[in-house]
Amino acid sequence: MCSPALQPTKRTVVVLQDVLRCSAQRYDSYADLKEDLKTRLARLHLPYDAAVIAAALDRVELGGKAPVVKV
């Protein structure tokens, strides 16, 4: 069973993956990606903070083959 502290990060990872999937192209900057992610989380009424967003980005980038923003 997952600890309750990991739940917000896992939810944010799922939302981040969806944001990236729905994007027509890779983001030019982390700031743009974070803004879209925050907007989506707010629409879904999911709580977030800087630490949760940073942890979600780390998980997605470490697990993926390509960076989430243009290099």
- pLDDT tens string 41-68: 999 999 999 999 999 998 898 876 667 7
Residue 30: give the domain boundaries: 4-63
Q: Are 41 and 48 in contact (CB under 8 A)?
A: yes
| Dihedral sign from CA coordinates of 56, 61, 64, 70 | positive
pLDDT tens digit sequence for 14-43: 999 999 999 877 888 999 999 999 999 999
pTM of the model: 0.82
71, part of any domain: no
Domain count across the chain: 1
Position 3 pLDDT exceeds 80:
no
